[in-house]
Structure 1
Amino acid sequence: MKKFLIEFIALLLIIAASFMIITENSGESASESTEEMGEALIKSMEETKKEKMKLEQFLTKASQELNDNGYEQIGLSYTDESLTVQVKDQSFIDDNKVNIERIIHNVAEQINFHGFEVEFLNLANYVTFSEEDEKLRESTMKVYDEILNLLREAGYTYNSISMDPNKEVIIEIQGMENDLKMRKEMEELIGQTILSKLNMDLEVKIRKKSESAIRDQEWQPIFGAIREETEKKFEEYRGFAYSFHPEPLQIIIKTDMDTHKWFWKFNKKANQITEYVDKIIELKREELSIEEIPYKIIIRNNKND
């Protein structure tokens, strides 16, 4: 009996020791996995940054080449490996499509930008502005230009400008809200300039940007990284949303997963996505020196539940 107890105790000790080793190794593996994830994410975000810079270079050079060839009224937009050329009507497309495509592909070849299709969008098929609307749009743009010139000369950068053409202009500028005298002087200068140059009598108001708006703006690069990197990593990704209200910040990742058929698989993948998004937030916050705030990551299924 005594021999049996000794053997039993020895067995328990071996099991306990084995469990401790497994636990320790598991902890080390998790630590290594998190570290590897961080390194892979940093590399991926650098690649994304280079791709965006190349896209910007391509669009800028393509627009310039088209302008130099007499196509000043063309607009370009790029989404999902598709370059959309926005033109005024179908006859313009029929007469110029081949030449426009040639210019675009030549530019792409020069900067080694490939893997896209060229599509044409006929703007005549969409809502057109009346003559009165067009005049209002032009006068509004002139007001914006005057305001931007005055702010630039004074050394200020605006956050937003909103305008009621018949009443007022509201400008949000950080750095001036605490100086009442300076704010009033700037409001008068902008109002007088608009009146004298454009003959529009508008009340000008300079306001402080709200804390929530500032916070929203600060987090936009983080939200952008979440969209880009999660879409690259997970084929289940279908969309992104966020909301600061109610608190805490809600970060919503939409997927095409069916929880009714594969509940266990959804939970496993949801945990992986959550961990990945957490790491993106951590890295981007550190990079941008953004203050940490409480947040919650929500993974939605294909029913948006």
Structure 2
Amino acid sequence: MDKELKQVKEQYSEQFYDDEISNRIKSKVYERILKDKRKWSISKKITLLGSVAVIILFLLVGSAFVSQAMAKVVSKVSFFNQIVQSLKETDDRNGKLEALYDVISKTLSENKEYKGKVEVGMSWFFSSEPPSFTVWVGDEDFKQEHEDEIKDIILKCAKSYKIDKVEVVLEVRDNVEPSEKNKELEKFTDEILTITQEVVEEKGYTILANGVSMNPKKVSIKVGIEGTEQQYKEVKNQIEKHVHDVIYAKKHENYEVEVKRESEEEIKNQNWQPIFTAVMEETHKKFKETNGFAYSFHPKPLEIILKTSLSKGEKTKEQAERIEEYARQVVEIKRKELSVEAIPYKIIIRDKENKKLYEKLYN
């Protein structure tokens, strides 16, 4: 038996993807091939198939000779290449959307007739779907006069990037152009944040988040500081004093400076954000029933929740299982790509009433 099984393994080892998923099922598939080979040889029916290689084909497409459970396991193998290709396409698409927004903003801002009178925003939930552009204008008369022209500019820009079915809406809003006071405040804030950035980087640290408030006058900085609590306090005091002194020396008012370090939970959240985005994007591209996403680190384990338009039923459960399995593979592919530490997580599929359809835990 062992000798025959070894021969089968050597003969068909390259028929399967060499990845984590296939490694877990190879031995079962080889044993099934050997079992079917012996059974068909005894019954003299192997001549109908020509060779055992055909059995591989039947296994991969869900032959009647293979149990439904085995067919389901084997079918999971093919998701790997699909997902990798889809992730690349999503990155390309996001790059196009960002470039398109930059071009539209620049085109509108450089038009002398529009300068100071329009502001543009772009939004989308799933990048695989057409983006929506909102253009805010200062008054109704301007909107009536230039609406078609502005829409035409945006649609032509989108067409140049091969992005179709773009939605464009013009809305009237007061104070499209920032006031002189707001401009000065923005310039002042940018200067303080630039000083803060330079001082912190000079000390060899990276700013993860920062902000300035006018009332109370305060500069808040979040820095990735590792080490013991004592080491953190020493670094915190040095940065706070140095930032304060530099801001004050540049003839700015006396600002309180507060440094905080990122917590373990915040680091974990930050590391998983690209994974969450990938799960949301890729499951929607593959399964249009997927129309919402959420996650929660508390209580443990991490919950990855996919909202769908599905209703309850036997076939619905099967589709929920497919969505869950696809989402799991996206998680693992993206997690390994980013070298994010593995943690226990649960994938939950909800129906259109937001009720739980299916869930699976991975430790």
Choose from 236, 246, 270 the match for 1:183: 236
User: SS at the partner of 2:79?
Assistant: helix
Q: Deviations over 1:16-41 (max 9, x none)?
A: 969xx989945764454122111111
Distance 2:154 2:202 in 1: 37
Q: Does the C-alpha gap of structure 1 residues 108 and 169 become closer, same or farther in structure 2, counting only changes over 3 Å? A: same
TM-score computed with the length of structure 1 as normaliser:
0.79
**Alignment deviations for residues 39-83 of structure 1 (CA, whole Å, 9 cap, x no partner):** 111111111111111111111122122222244542221325222
User: Partners in 2 of 1:76 and 1:300 — Cα distance?
Assistant: 32
Aligned length: 285
CA deviations over 1:64-106 (Å, ceiling 9, x no partner): 2222224454222132522222333333323433332343234
Name the residue aligned to 1:8.
none
Q: Secondary structure at the match of 2:85?
A: helix
Distance change in 2, residues 1:132/1:76 (3 Å): closer
Structure 1 pair 283–150 and aligned structure 2 pair: CA distance change class (3 A): same
Following superposition, the deviation at residue 223 of structure 1 comes to 0.3
1:63 aligned residue (105, 108, 112): 105
Cross-structure match for 2:305: 252
The alpha-carbon distance between structure 1 residues 271 and 185, as it changes in their structure 2 partners (threshold 3 A), is: same
CA distance in 1 between counterparts of 2:111 and 2:181 reads 31
2:75 aligns with one of 25, 33, 44: 33
Q: Give the letter aligned to residue 122 of structure 2.
A: S
Q: Distance in 2 between matches of 1:207 and 1:216?
A: 17
Mapping of residues 129-278 of structure 1, within 5 Å: 140=189, 143-151=192-200, 156-165=205-214, 166-175=216-225, 178=231, 180-197=233-250, 199-259=252-312, 262=313, 264-278=314-328
Q: Give SS of 2:87's match.
A: helix
Cα distance in 1 for partners of 2:301, 2:164 equals 42
CA distance in 1, matches of 2:241, 2:89: 48
Q: 1:153 deviation in Å?
A: 5.6
Question: Shift of the alpha carbon at 1:243?
Answer: 0.4
Alignment partner of 1:107 is 2:157 = yes
Question: Where do 5+ consecutive residues of structure 2 fail to align?
Answer: 1-34, 41-58, 356-363
Structure 1 window deviating more from structure 2 (130-139 vs 195-204): it is: 130-139
CA distance in 2, matches of 1:85, 1:280: 35
Q: How has the CA–CA distance of structure 1 residues 132 and 282 changed in structure 2, closer, same or farther, with 3 Å as cutoff?
A: same
CA contact (8 A) 1:254 1:304 kept: yes
Percent identity between matched residues is 33
**Equivalent residues in 2 for 1:2-151, closer than 5 Å:** 25-26=66-67, 29-70=71-112, 71-73=114-116, 74-79=119-124, 81=130, 82-124=132-174, 140=189, 143-151=192-200
Superposed displacement of residue 123, structure 1: 2.8
3-state SS of the aligned residue for 1:239?
Answer: strand
8 Å CA contact 1:169, 1:204 repeated in 2: yes
Normalised TM-score (structure 2): 0.67
> With CA pairs under 8 Å and 6+ residues apart, which has the higher RCO, 1 or 2?
1
Q: Distance in 1 between matches of 2:153 and 2:321?
A: 47
**Secondary structure of 1:107 counterpart:** helix
Amino acid at match of 2:141: S
Specify the alignment match of 1:301 in structure 2.
351
1:58 and 1:113 in contact (8 A); partners too: no
Change in Cα spacing, 1:151 to 1:64, as seen in structure 2 (3 Å) is farther
Residue pair 2:210, 2:219 contacting (<8 A) in 1 also: yes
Would you say the 8 A contact 1:176–1:182 is kept in 2?
no
